[in-house]
Structure 1
Amino acid sequence: MRSEPEHRLPETAIKAWRLSGIIWAVVLWFITAILVLLTLQGGGPPWWTDALVGVLALTISILATTVMPSLRWKRWRYQIDEHEVDLRRGIFIIQRTLIPVKRVQHVDTRQGPILRKYGLSSVAITTAATTHEIPALDDETADEVRNQISNFARLAEEDV
């Protein structure tokens, strides 16, 4: 059996994922408030469905902002060598992906407003079949990873 990938994401990824969770929680609470207002006006669902939605919204908000980011960070690992990119991720179901470097078509770095706030970027690895992502690397590491995968892919292409 293969050894575990050795590289972890930076701990600032937890902060970025928590902020993202807070934004989703606000949207969820906004939808819940609309349902409650509809019920109070008499045109919405019965009161017990609002209570159920409220409990679900509270549970999801707590999980998305406290528990899930830490678990996600603990599980995420990656490793890159001249033959493949090895990704391990997942919270409840651990998924392991090996991407042959010779199948890589291009590599991108991506940075949205939340990642930019924390100086993080994601690396997207595209093959003919799909796109894989290493999320929330610090900007310098993301550039190094992108360049490393690109160089390995170029060397693999020359070997063919």
Structure 2
Amino acid sequence: MILEPQKRISEKALTVWKVSALIKVAISWVVAAVVIFFLHRFDVPLWIIVLLLLIELLFTYISVALFPSLRWRRWRYDVREEEIELQEGIFIVKRTLIPMIRVQHVDTIQGPILRKYQLASVIVNTAATAHEIPALEEKEAEELRRFISNLARVADEDV
């Protein structure tokens, strides 16, 4: 049996992801309204307009209600002395191991929506890429950033 990472991100991530999805959906509805206006002006059959509205409704439900909860259930992480393990994904579950020796620096990031809910994300940078642990409580994110930074420093000294 394969053990998956045990630590979860904050439950407030659900709210943050739903708010972000609502912003995207609002933009999508504005675009759909413009398209419907022009479809109506050019006497396109009503069934096409209804189909577009149904697609928008489905997109809204999936983006706001379904995906955030599925995403939150899958998102897990663990930080060990030798490595950081991340697990994410809705349909395709991606598990990533980041050797501590590869960590170059660690950042915290906090946009306006995360700030409103007192959350921050931790970004672990390696030479190849950056890995994000999203939506942690501010204090937890700061402690995790310092902890990973200290472990990475020790790993560098071992080389």
User: Which residue of the partner structure matches residue 24 of structure 1?
Assistant: 24
Deviation at 1:52, TM superposition (A): 2.9
Q: Return the TM-score normalized by structure 1.
A: 0.93
Give the 3-state SS of the residue equivalent to 1:93 in structure 2: coil
Q: 1:17 to 1:106 in 2, by over 3 A?
A: same
Residue 32 of structure 1 contacts residue 50 of structure 1 at CA under 8 Å; is this kept in 2? no
Q: Is the 8 A contact 1:124 1:132 kept in 2?
A: yes
Instruction: Report deviation, 1:39.
Output: 1.4
For 2:34, the equivalent position in structure 1 comes to 34
Work out the percentage of aligned pairs sharing the same amino acid.
48
User: Unpaired segments of 5 or more residues in structure 2?
Assistant: none
The CA deviation at 1:50 is 3.4
Give the Å deviation of 1:53: 2.7
TM-score by length of 2: 0.94
User: Which consecutive residues of structure 1, in runs of 5 or more, have no partner in the other structure?
Assistant: none
Provide the rounded CA distance (Å) in 1 between the counterparts of 2:158 and 2:128: 22
1:46 Cα shift?
A: 5.8
In the alignment, residue 19 of structure 1 is paired with which amino acid? V
Taking the TM superposition and a 5 Å limit, the aligned residue runs for 1:80-99 are: 80-99=79-98
User: How many angstroms does 1:4 deviate by?
Assistant: 1.4
Indicate the residue corresponding to 2:75 in structure 1. 76
Output the CA distance in 1 between the equivalents of 2:153 and 2:16.
33
Secondary structure of the residue that 1:33 maps to in structure 2? helix
Q: Distance in 1 between matches of 2:105 and 2:153?
A: 10
Distance 2:103 2:2 in 1: 21
What is the 5 A alignment of 1:139-150? 139-150=138-149
Per-residue CA deviations over 1:80-111 (Å, capped at 9, x if unaligned) read 01111000111111110000111011111111
Match of 1:122 in 2: 121
SS in structure 2 of the partner of residue 52 of structure 1: helix
